Structure formats: structure tokens, C-alpha cells
Amino acid sequence: MTDEGQHEHDTVVYELDDWSAEERGALEMRLEAAGIEHRWEAGPDPLAEAPPPYGTRHRWEVWPNLVINEEHEVAVDALLDEVESPEALEGVDDEDASDEDVYSVMGNLYTAADKLKNDPDDLAVAGEFFDAADAVRATEAPYGIDGSIWSRVQSLAASVTEKLEAEADDDDVQRLASELRDLLFQYV
């Protein structure tokens, strides 16, 4: 991250050229879901100065520098951490955690999958799903749920996340989100 004098004095520039396009895409969805104004700019590659052709590539796939208003720096830092270290997100794996906490994580995933199956293009819904899927990945199987079923829940959540990040066909996202929602239905 650098503060650039060439930009307006109240902006922060994150140099993400070591990130993959998929990671920048995951960040883009989170930024959109959070309603944070931002733009992507070209990095040190002089051939990347022209905007990418629409319909083929997104700006974050080609341009690695994220520019935000300084007022959003704390929120963006948290989003960067989510993408860089999803395993550090709060799941519920503590033995002393209440059943209510664990089932809340599962309920959040159910709600996010239900919304996503109805509107896979909504970036805010996708952001909610990412957060819920990350928490489920870090959570042990809830009491009374077979480990193989919980593994299936985690696997489906990961598949939906991959489809969203790859901007797969809406039908694929809807199908997987519906399957996940139906699997969770009997437990929430």
C-alpha cells in the first residue's frame, strides 16, 4: 500500500500486482457489497494503460492498483485481510462455544444461499455469501450433525464461492446455492 502524491491527497493506493485476478475479483465483490467507492488503475506495466475491452476482461483482472478514499481505509484493510487470510476469519471452533453460536454460523450460510439462489447477480448478496462461507469453513461440525454432512456443506459452500469468483453462469451458481440451501434446510 502506498499513498500517492499524483492522486488526490485524500486517496490511498493499494498495489496488488502480486495478487491473482481471482483474488482481486473476490475483493471487488466485497467492495461492491460494502458500497465502498473505488477504482482500479494500471500498475507499472506500460502496456496496461488502456482500459480492458468490455465483455472480455474486468479492470481488476488487468489493473492491479486499487484506489480508495482515505475515509474507507480501515474497512478496506479488513476486506484485504478477508481475501488474503480467509482462514483467520472467525469461525466457531472453540469447545466452549455455545450451540447457538455454531447454529448461527450455519443459519447465516442458509440465509445467504437462499438469497443467492434467487439473485446470483447481486454483489451485496454475493458478499454476504462469501462471509458466511468463510465462517462455515472455519467451524467444526455442529452438535448432532454428522461429519460427512458437514463436509458436504463446506464443500458446496466452497464450490459456490469458486463459481462466484470465476463469474460462472448464473444457472450454475443458482443450482449449487439451491442444493446447499436444501441441504441446510433440515438443520436450521
pLDDT in tens, 113-134: 999 898 888 888 888 888 888 8
Over residues 91-105, mean pLDDT: 60
> Given a cut of 70, is residue 87 above it in pLDDT?
no
Helix or strand run (H / E) with residue 184: helix 170-185
* The Cα angle at residue 155 between residues 165 and 75, in degrees rounded to 5: 45
- Residue 112 or residue 29, greater confidence: 112
Q: What is the model's pLDDT at position 3? A: 46
pLDDT range class, residue 7, cuts 50, 70, 90: very low
pLDDT range class, residue 47, cuts 50, 70, 90: low
Q: In whole angstroms, what is the distance from residue 89 CA to residue 133 CA?
A: 10
Indicate the average pLDDT of the chain: 78
Lowest mean pLDDT among 27-31, 89-93, 99-103, 174-178: 89-93
> Given a cut of 50, is residue 139 above it in pLDDT?
yes
- Residue 47 or residue 31, greater confidence: 31
Q: What is the model's pLDDT at position 49? A: 54
83 - beta bridge partners? none
- Enter the C-alpha cell of residue 15: 498495489
Please report, rounded to a whole number, the percentage of residues in the chain having pLDDT higher than 70: 79
Q: What is the model's pLDDT at position 11? A: 92
- Give me the helices (H) in 73-146, please: 73-84, 99-118, 123-137
Q: What is the pTM of this model?
A: 0.52
Cα–Cα distances in angstroms (integers) from residue 54 to residues 19, 62, 64, 181, in the given order: 22, 12, 17, 34
Instruction: Compute the radius of gyration of the chain from its Cα atoms.
Output: 18
